Amino acid sequence: MVVWIIGLSGAGKTTVAQELRSQIISNGRPCILLDGDVVRAILGDDLGHTIDDRRKNADRICRMCAYLDSQGVNVVCAILSIFHESQDWNRSHIEDYFEVFLDAPLDMVMQRDTKGIYARAKAGEANNVVGVDIEFPRPASPNLTLPNNFTTSPEELAASIFEKIEHKLS
């Protein structure tokens, strides 16, 4: 099974994904976490953040998830995922695919700005920032949308996902 967690930078994807992985493992099932930023680094950090490079990175992660799923590995993937084509590809190539949209308002993630990405973009020090100069298209048909205004704990958000997927886990 692959759980694909989508959201803006700063929406809480990684934190919720880490918690979901812990909940899956605590329930006796193996699981790995793939984080979009970490996968970039593991693969040599050879891509920038242009649309073309983002598409290449997304394709790599989609294929990696499909491969792991074909081997019976449960995967939680935290990814920006701005391409509907990637989400469609996953649906047609990953047998047990579950898409979660962590819906955090852009103004709130910009205010939190945990990585300083939005501040750098506003100051003209960074470009190709999703939500600033690259559009963030909402996912077309997620299996689950979880509003995140940062009043619900990551544990509760992860529990909401776990409840929906528990019966599908390997």
Instruction: Catalogue the active-site residues.
Output: 81
| Torsion sign (Cα): 5, 9, 11, 14 | positive
Q: How many CA atoms lie within 13 A of 146 on its CB side?
A: 29
- By CB atoms closer than 10 A (0-12, 13-18, 19+), residue 26 is exposed
Q: Is-contact 39 61, C-beta < 8 A? A: yes
Q: Is-contact 27 70, C-beta < 8 A? A: no
Q: Which two tokens stand for residue 63?
A: 């294929």
DSSP-derived letter for residue 125 is S
